[in-house]
Amino acid sequence: METVLLSTSEQDINKAAEIIKNGGLVGMPTETVYGLGANAMNENAVKSIFIAKGRPQDNPLIVHISDMEMLNVVAREIPALALECAEKFWAGPFTMVLKKTDKIGDCISPNLDTVAVRIPQNKVALEIIKLCGFPLAAPSANTSGSPSPTSPFHVEADLMGKIDAIVYSDECDVGVESTVVSFCENPPRLLRPGGITAEQLREIIPDIVIDKAVLAEPEKGKQVASPGMKYKHYAPQSEVVIVGGSREKAA
Ligand code: AMP
Ligand code: MG
């Protein structure tokens, strides 16, 4: 397929939103990493994310919303502590796992009754979501397993010809993924480290549990709280040389 190259002009942002409304995939900036945005309510669009990325079928997607009103479209029975965290960390690199509504299909979070959701801070991302008027699924815009893209040129090198468009904007401010916290248990559990630190979270949730999979590789074949944690991430294509010995010898 031809990948349309877009700028951040008003006209091009409108085009990006139109492509997503028509079920397409758009590589777009967020403050964490470049995302691959699609209509979270359109099953075929969501399926095409998994195909373009080669993403394992059981790895659920994060849904991106533009305001608290949209939160009620995707999540239900939201605990007070989650709302407090939203107040403090949104818009920003912070994702909450909550009970999902029936608007969120099985393609977003397969075999789970939960949904992961965040409000991004990046102005271009927010504008695109607002123009669409519905939540976007937006995992990192890269082939699964490889390093996450933090510039549009990374997306171009990896996914050109496999997605409908790329929005060329600045490098990502944060440069790592969002922190994922589950509020479906008490106390809440940190499932994936990211842009918001455990120390920041402890200011609001002093007894937050850090999931085992955050600190050590999960045991093979064992069920993990966050399905994505069992897969390989950030593996570069280049040969890696490890140099040992003293600093002087290594130099
Ligand atoms: P990515 O979109 O590649 O940054 O990955 C999203 C991360 O959030 C993965 O580690 C997923 O396992 C995790 N995640 C997404 N949805 C859920 C959910 N409903 N429950 C638990 N973890 C989730
Ligand atoms: Mg990723």
What is the rounded average pLDDT of the residues 192-207? Answer: 96
Cα dihedral sign, 7-12-16-19: negative
CA distance 118 to 19: 22
Q: Counting atoms of ligand 1 from 1, which one is nearest the CA of 116?
A: 16
Q: Is the pLDDT of residue 239 over 90?
A: no
Share above pLDDT 90 across residues of the chain, in percent, rounded to a whole number:
82
Task: Map tokens 């608290």 to a residue.
Answer: 68
Task: Map tokens 């994060």 to a residue.
Answer: 62
Ligand 1: which residue has its CA nearest to atom 12?
A: 228
CA distance 167 to 179: 24
Q: Is 167 in the pocket of ligand 1 (CB under 6 A)?
A: no
At 126, which amino acid appears? L
Q: What is the pLDDT of residue 77?
A: 97
Q: Is 228 in the pocket of ligand 1 (CB under 6 A)?
A: yes
Q: Which ligand has the shortest distance to the CA of 158? A: 2
Residues 6+ apart with CB under 8 A from 13: 6, 124, 127, 128, 131, 167
Q: Is the pLDDT of residue 44 over 80?
A: yes
Q: Is 192 in the pocket of ligand 1 (CB under 6 A)?
A: yes
Quick: pLDDT tens for 113-128: 999 999 999 999 999 9
Q: Which ligand has the shortest distance to the CA of 117? A: 1
pLDDT band of residue 247 (cuts 50, 70, 90) is confident
Q: What is the pLDDT of residue 221?
A: 74
Radius of gyration from C-alpha coordinates of the chain:
18
* Test site for ligand 1: of 61, 140, 174, most ligand atoms within 8 A of the Cβ: 61
What is the rounded average pLDDT of the residues 198-215? Answer: 95
Q: Is 97 in the pocket of ligand 1 (CB under 6 A)?
A: yes
Quick: pLDDT tens for 110-164: 999 999 999 999 999 999 999 999 999 999 999 999 899 999 999 999 999 999 9
